[in-house]
Amino acid sequence: MKDMCEKNYWIHAVSPLHIGTGRGIGYIDLPIAREKVTGWPYIPGSAVKGVIADYFGADLESRKNDASSYKKAAFGLASSDFEATENAGSIVFSDAVIVCLPVRSFYGTFAWITSPFALARIKRAAKLEIPEVKTKECALVCSDNSGSDNSVCANGDKIYLEDIDLNVDKNELVSKWAELIAGRVFSGNKDWEEWQEIFIKRFVVVDDNIFTFLCETGTEVNARIMIKNELKTAAEGALWYEESLPVETILSGIVWCDKVYEKKEEISPKQLMNKFCNGELQLQLGGKASIGKGIVRCIFYGGEQ
């Protein structure tokens, strides 16, 4: 569309992240949200949009009373009695899909792992002009001429992720992907610039099946209990297990605006995107906020019409 404005957004977990789905049916009482087809963790776009609306103070009352109408135009205004003033939100967020999962490594402490299919989805969403990576039965790390030292996760020709050991191959295309993701997630903020090199040294591409296995087994599962206030002891039967994405997880999605539903001609899609989806935001996503879960960096990239 002529006036459509679109950006990519990247989410970097600074603390463990719990985007729940309610009660689970297995041993995990409070599991995280997972895609039906792949089983990979993701963040619903509605969760991201709601938190960003809260970040900008766009609650119901503020949308009604906003003289500029930007908040109402961006996030919509619902009405129980179908008033003429109601409108849909003009900014649309896709789900944030997993890009890199941090996994314990015998060398280098941990690795940011991804897979060919995970990268193919990012290539499609971000319209990237970069070839897809292919691998099977080995782990791919950055080549020696990537601008950084060799991978800190590899030991000779082997890499050990959790209880999986894989042969290692150095790949120049993997270096390009590492530099691209590091540039999108860790550049533009002086406090995170040095993390570009840290990321590149720990970037590892594994087979899709191995990635799926580690997405199932590599998340955090913590036991929680409820305490009786009067006795300061554990309440009977109040033990549960909850799952979280580990700190340093990286996800990505797209956000766009192609039509402004608020009937104000002076508001354009680009204006809304630049006002609410620009630069870097520090947000709290998901549950367990009172115990420090869900602190993330949300970085917006692109935006040409």
pLDDT value at residue 305: 38
Mind listing the pLDDT tens digit for each residue in 245-297? 999 999 999 999 988 876 666 788 899 999 999 999 999 999 888 888 999 99
pTM of the model: 0.90
Mind listing the pLDDT tens digit for each residue in 23-59? 655 667 788 999 999 999 999 999 999 999 999 998 8
pLDDT band at residue 61 using 50, 70 and 90 as cut-offs: confident
> What is the average pLDDT across 194-205?
96
Structure tokens at 37: 């087809």
Instruction: Check whether 16 has a pLDDT greater than 50.
Output: yes
Mind listing the pLDDT tens digit for each residue in 234-259? 776 678 889 999 999 999 999 999 88
pLDDT value at residue 94: 96
Using CA of residue 4, residue 7, residue 8, residue 12, what is the dihedral sign?
Answer: negative
Instruction: Check whether 1 has a pLDDT greater than 60.
Output: no
pLDDT value at residue 18: 93
* 162, 211 Cβ separation under 8 angstroms: no
Mind listing the pLDDT tens digit for each residue in 131-175? 888 887 899 999 876 445 579 999 989 999 998 999 999 999 999
User: What does the DSSP assignment read for the chain?
Assistant: -TT-EEEEEEEEESS-B--B-SS-SSS-SBPBPB-TTT--BEE-HHHHHHHHHHHTT--HHHHHH-TT-HHHHHH-B--TT--TT-B--S-EEPPEEEEEEEEEBSSSSEEEEE-HHHHHHHHHHHT--SPPP--SSEEEEE-TTSSS-S-TTEETTEEEETTEEEEEEEEHHHHHHHHHHHHHHHSS-TTTTTHHHHHHHHEEE--HHHHHHHHHHSSEEEEEEEEETTTTEEEEEEEEEEEEBPTT-EEEEEEEE----SS-TT--HHHHHHHHS-SEEEEE-SS-GGGTTTEEEEEEEE---
Mind listing the pLDDT tens digit for each residue in 79-93? 655 555 577 788 999
pLDDT value at residue 222: 86
% pLDDT > 90, the chain: 58
For the chain, what are the domain ranges? Answer: 1-19+45-94+248-305, 33-40+99-218
